[in-house]
Amino acid sequence: MGVSKSKVTALGEQLRSGEYGAEELSVLGDWRRGFEPALGEVVSSLAALEPVTGRSKTVNSIVDKLRRMPSTRLAQIEDIAGARMVREMNLDQQDALVADICEIFPDNKVYDRRVKPSSGYRAVHVVVRIGGVPVEVQIRTRVQDLWAQLVESLSDRWGQQIKYGGPPDEPDVPVGDTTAGDTTTRGAVVEMVVQRLSQSLRRIEEETAQVERRSAGLEDQVRQAYMEGRVEDLRDHVENRDALVVAQAEARQSRAEFMDSLIDLVLLLQAVP
């Protein structure tokens, strides 16, 4: 990529130690530019599946990552170049989009971070290789993305460690309306967002996908039974449909209750810049 392997390794150590200046930033810039053709190709190839955007990693996040992972060399970081796609979709549609991306880029590795969320973060990442150069494609539902953006935003204000499951800087600082005595602490807000909010959103996305799956399956069965004149089966399907209507109502109710409970959190967040 225009910069020798040993120079990249040395550069990584300088960034990790914080001892770098204009010269090191120039070498980093040259090395990072080596990822641009691959990133451009990925973003252009996915343009039809918009919205998609691409970025090469910022100096701050490269340094943060090297410090967080002391045994990782700069050249081992797989997300120097990254693309992101965010859509209103359910979990099944997200799976279908991932499958489409894997078909476009056969040299790929899928990391389903919905299965084992790390510090509450859920998404699917696909690392594709273009001529050996890795580009990480993040595929997020709108809900997964808004949660991730919220946590990024809290990390920007109260400490980058929040993204990785750590407590905020000064966790006991009160948040909220101190004159009304209606306060909690930074630590409690972060716990609420990173733990409880992530888990609740996960449950809601899974329930929604399940109900939509059942609904689609039932429609198929009814259509098939009707075409084949199977009256008894049709009767069963009507009963199933009634059960499904109840499940849909329960899912809606649980979502509405959860969203109501979030209003307090939103009020607290008004105190954050």
* Interacting residues with another protein (CB under 8 A): 21-22, 25-26, 29, 33, 36, 39-40, 43-44, 47, 50-56, 58-60, 84-86, 142-143, 145-147, 149-150, 152-154, 156-157, 259, 262-263, 265-266, 269-270, 272-273
CA distances from 9 to 56, 63, 74, 80, 187 (A): 18, 13, 6, 15, 37
Q: Of 53 and 224, which has the nearer Cβ to another protein?
A: 53
Contacts of 172 (CB under 8 A, 6+ apart): 185, 186, 187
Find the shortest distance in angstroms from Cβ 229 to another protein.
Answer: 43
CA gap 213, 163 in Å, rounded:
32
Find the shortest distance in angstroms from Cβ 130 to another protein.
Answer: 14
Find the shortest distance in angstroms from Cβ 106 to another protein.
Answer: 23
Find the shortest distance in angstroms from Cβ 259 to another protein.
Answer: 5
111, 90 in Cβ contact below 8 A?
no
Calculate the dihedral angle through the C-alpha atoms of 251, 253, 255, 260, rounding to the nearest 10 degrees.
-170
Q: Of 61 and 240, which has the nearer Cβ to another protein?
A: 61
Strand partners for 130: 133
Per DSSP, 217 falls in state H
Q: Of 84 and 237, which has the nearer Cβ to another protein?
A: 84
Q: Of 6 and 60, which has the nearer Cβ to another protein?
A: 60
DSSP for 128-144, written as a single string = EEETTEEEEEEEEEHHH
Find the shortest distance in angstroms from Cβ 238 to another protein.
Answer: 32
Q: Of 25 and 246, which has the nearer Cβ to another protein?
A: 25
